[in-house]
Structure 1
Amino acid sequence: MTPHIVHVSSAHPWVDNRVHLREAAAAAAAGYRVRLIAVDSPLAAPETGVDVVRIPSRHRLRRMILSTTQALVLALRSRAPLVHLHDPELIWTIPVLRLAGRTVVYDAHEDLPDQVWGKDYLSPRQRAVFAFISHGLLRLAGTAHRVVTATEWTGRRFPVSRRVAIHNFPLARPEDDQQLPVLDRPAVVAHVGVLSHDRGIDVLARTVSEPHFPAGWRLEMVGSIDRATSTERLRAAQETGRAHHAGVVGPMEARDLLLHARVGVVPFRRTPVTDQIFPTKLFEYLAAGLAVIATDMPLWGHLLDGIECVTFVPADDPAAMARAISRYADDPALLARHSAEARRAAQRFSWAPEAARLVEMYDELLPDVRSSAPAGDAG
């Protein structure tokens, strides 16, 4: 049966939190027939009512040529009237899709020019060239019927009349409502998500070797490691027995880890990109009732103003992070109080209002489609 909406990614795995479990799933739950074209992965995802078509995982150059072309062909063959694109490398398909009569939504997960300037492996000259190209791509992306952005900051580059911010706030889960009190959990500091130089892999590795890191505590990590990132320090940290990296797991398994931890850490370096994003893990920590230790980012401080469960530390400072962990280890009453405050704060950062705003956008672009869909057609 022809889908109403097809979400397309040539870079993200089919289990991706934002692409599948939030946005595509929200449309399916609202009654739209939804298909997802995304990269194959052995990881599992819960049933969402989304029809998934997987394309092979390829290295960067082959992905940019073969995967984007394959994804475009599959999107056109789906005959879906609305195509929701999720990667900068798919921007070139926007005019093709529009000429084919499709309504196009482009999803800007991050600010592309800032992302380019943050690539340490590029020379300054290369960064300047790619940043120039990225501005041209964004002008082309702005020709989509709507541009969905993960933050208001990312949206500043697109026409006001066409943009809508849909934040990466976590899905509500019954498991979070049944969580153990924080003091009944293992003495674990948790980190979930991608590890790279900019996302604090070296800070985490050095934190467990600091003299202030509390005895009997350990650091548990899950998530992919950026291919350009050295893992030498991480391997050394694991050899001490105070740190463990469990590799890549599914999104719900990552959140399950948090229910068996006491503290969550967000050790980002200050870069043009990290200064302007809301990391999903931050909100997932709150939902799991964790005290949070995070880099002192002005945007995060503004967002969390008045919430007392977050300890901000300077960037690139493993000693400060170790001291913050030790503070919680030495003061169980403080840890319990911050855990309770985290659960209260989590109510402010719920996916439900974001999903409603996303579905409202689809309703505007596909008038009368949802109301005329036969009963039981959501999957």
Structure 2
Amino acid sequence: MSPRPLAVVTSAHPWGDPRVFGRELQACLDWGLPVDLYAQAPPGAAPALPAGLRFHPVPPARGRLGRVLRALGLWRPLLRNGPYRLVHFHDPELLPAMALLALARPGTHLLFDIHEDLPLQFRAKTYVPEPFRRPLGILAAWALHLASRLFHGFAPATEAIASAWPPDATRVVHNYPRTLFHRPGPAPDPDRVLYMGGLSRERGLLLALEAVRRARAVRPGMRLEVIGWLLDREVEAALGAASAEGWCTHTPTLGAEALAERASGAGIGLVTLLPLANYQEALPTKLFEYMALGIPVLASDFPLWRRLVAGSGAGRVAAPEPAAVAGALLAMASDPAGLAAHARRGREAYLARYRWEAEARHLRWHLARAGLLPPEPPGDAP
């Protein structure tokens, strides 16, 4: 049997995840590569699949242990449905399954798409008891060291993550949104505050809710619009209480077109991740989505984000604690001219530096290394 070109595998990311589905998988289809996708099916009706995509649903799992066991078993369907020339996988929990696949199919090129720093991520997880966080971080670092020897390519989301991987097999693929998000809309509405993305304590949803609640004591018309998927049940009650009070709405994840339509005209976009080590060097997709949509940004004051947000003029940063964020919200909302300037400068920075269409060539570099596409001409290389 001749190998199929490419399998894309994710056991944890929901259907429609922007990096996995909206950018990288779609780019492969746009380049004419047939793709076998292994992922969780979306709730409801079966998805409509574009030409060239063959879907293998990953079964649901209950609890974190169930997720780990499900991920471990994914090497079997990959072995059965292959062989593949390249397997592009996205989740650290897939590392054992991909190691088994590497041993069973030594000719398969394995590309690890690395979204976060795994050792730092373990040390920051609140559901892991404190005494176990550091040992698990050390174990994760050891596992990644083995992965660097066993796998063939590495696509980290940031330069900080890239520093841990073999330089000749590594190229950063940033989380920049597609131009689809560039929809110049109405002037920013100072009272429309937006939070997009995964919903959890660590990602700053509880902080955002408390900050808007405090700001409303001074500016009662301010409201919060939350768009995203629940990552843990801890935030569900707080989100429901704010919604019941009438100043907060929650919409599950939307497709790119619907998201752009819904978000257009918001006055302030929040990126309020907590100061955990694995977040401070991250580049959240929603930061660039706000810029693309002309939504002024209010982000946690991390050095990298300060340089990006303040340096581009796209918005402000504030210490990731309720009083500071509430104060920044009120200061931004009271300055409509400043909001308009942030919106304009954010769009300009996005179009000049932060678009997926310019970034896609880095993913193409990985596919060319695997022999799926011809290399780019030397003059086009970064």
| TM-score, structure 1 normalization | 0.88
2:200 maps to 1:196? yes
Spell out the pairing of 1:3-22 with structure 2 (5 A cutoff): 3-22=4-23
Spell out the pairing of 1:10-49 with structure 2 (5 A cutoff): 10-42=11-43, 47=50, 49=52
The SS at the match of 2:12 is strand
- Taking the aligned partners of 1:92 and 1:137, their CA distance within structure 2 comes to 9
Contact kept, 8 Å, 1:192 with 1:254, in 2: the verdict is no
CA 1:323–1:47 in 2, change beyond 3 Å: closer, same or farther? Answer: farther
Higher relative contact order, structure no. (Cα contacts within 8 Å, ≥ 6 residues apart)? 1
Aligned pairs, number: 367
Look up the match of 2:363.
358
Look up the match of 2:133.
127
Look up the match of 1:346.
350
Correspondent of 1:257 among 250, 253, 262: 262
The SS at the match of 2:84 is coil
2:175 maps to 1:168? yes
Look up the match of 2:58.
55
Q: Which amino acid aligns with 2:25?
A: A
- Taking the aligned partners of 1:321 and 1:130, their CA distance within structure 2 comes to 33
Query: Structure 1 residue 177: deviation in Å?
Result: 4.4
Q: Deviations over 1:169-190 (max 9, x none)?
A: 00111xx44432224x584111
CA 1:48–1:240 in 2, change beyond 3 Å: closer, same or farther? Answer: farther
- Taking the aligned partners of 1:292 and 1:330, their CA distance within structure 2 comes to 15
Contact kept, 8 Å, 2:71 with 2:93, in 1: the verdict is no
Query: Structure 1 residue 162: deviation in Å?
Result: 1.6
Contact kept, 8 Å, 1:15 with 1:45, in 2: the verdict is no
Query: Structure 1 residue 287: deviation in Å?
Result: 0.4
Q: Deviations over 1:145-191 (max 9, x none)?
A: 11110111112221222211100100111xx44432224x5841111
Stretch moving more, 274-283 or 305-314 = 305-314
Look up the match of 1:375.
none
Query: Structure 1 residue 82: deviation in Å?
Result: 0.8
Q: Which amino acid aligns with 1:35?
A: D
Look up the match of 1:220.
225
CA 1:367–1:188 in 2, change beyond 3 Å: closer, same or farther? Answer: closer
Query: Structure 1 residue 305: deviation in Å?
Result: 5.2
Look up the match of 2:122.
116
Stretch moving more, 149-158 or 252-261 = 252-261
Instruction: Specify every segment of 5 or more residues in structure 1 that has no aligned partner in the other structure, as ranges.
Output: 372-379
- Taking the aligned partners of 2:298 and 2:169, their CA distance within structure 1 comes to 36
The SS at the match of 1:294 is strand
Contact kept, 8 Å, 2:183 with 2:264, in 1: the verdict is no
Look up the match of 2:379.
none
Q: Which amino acid aligns with 1:41?
A: P
Q: In angstroms, what is the RMSD of aligned CA positions?
A: 2.5
Correspondent of 1:297 among 296, 302, 318: 302
Q: Which amino acid aligns with 1:122?
A: V
- Taking the aligned partners of 2:288 and 2:183, their CA distance within structure 1 comes to 17
2:154 maps to 1:151? no
- Taking the aligned partners of 2:127 and 2:18, their CA distance within structure 1 comes to 27
- Taking the aligned partners of 1:281 and 1:75, their CA distance within structure 2 comes to 36
2:92 maps to 1:84? no
- Taking the aligned partners of 2:190 and 2:109, their CA distance within structure 1 comes to 50
Instruction: Specify every segment of 5 or more residues in structure 2 that has no aligned partner in the other structure, as ranges.
Output: 377-382
Correspondent of 2:249 among 244, 247, 253: 244
Look up the match of 1:182.
187
Query: Structure 1 residue 21: deviation in Å?
Result: 1.6
Spell out the pairing of 1:316-335 with structure 2 (5 A cutoff): 316=321, 318-335=322-339
| TM-score, structure 2 normalization | 0.88
- Taking the aligned partners of 1:276 and 1:308, their CA distance within structure 2 comes to 20
Query: Structure 1 residue 200: deviation in Å?
Result: 1.3
The SS at the match of 1:10 is coil
Q: Which amino acid aligns with 1:154?
A: I
Q: Deviations over 1:279-336 (max 9, x none)?
A: 10000000000111111011112334531221111111x2332232223332222221
Contact kept, 8 Å, 2:190 with 2:333, in 1: the verdict is no
- Taking the aligned partners of 1:370 and 1:157, their CA distance within structure 2 comes to 25
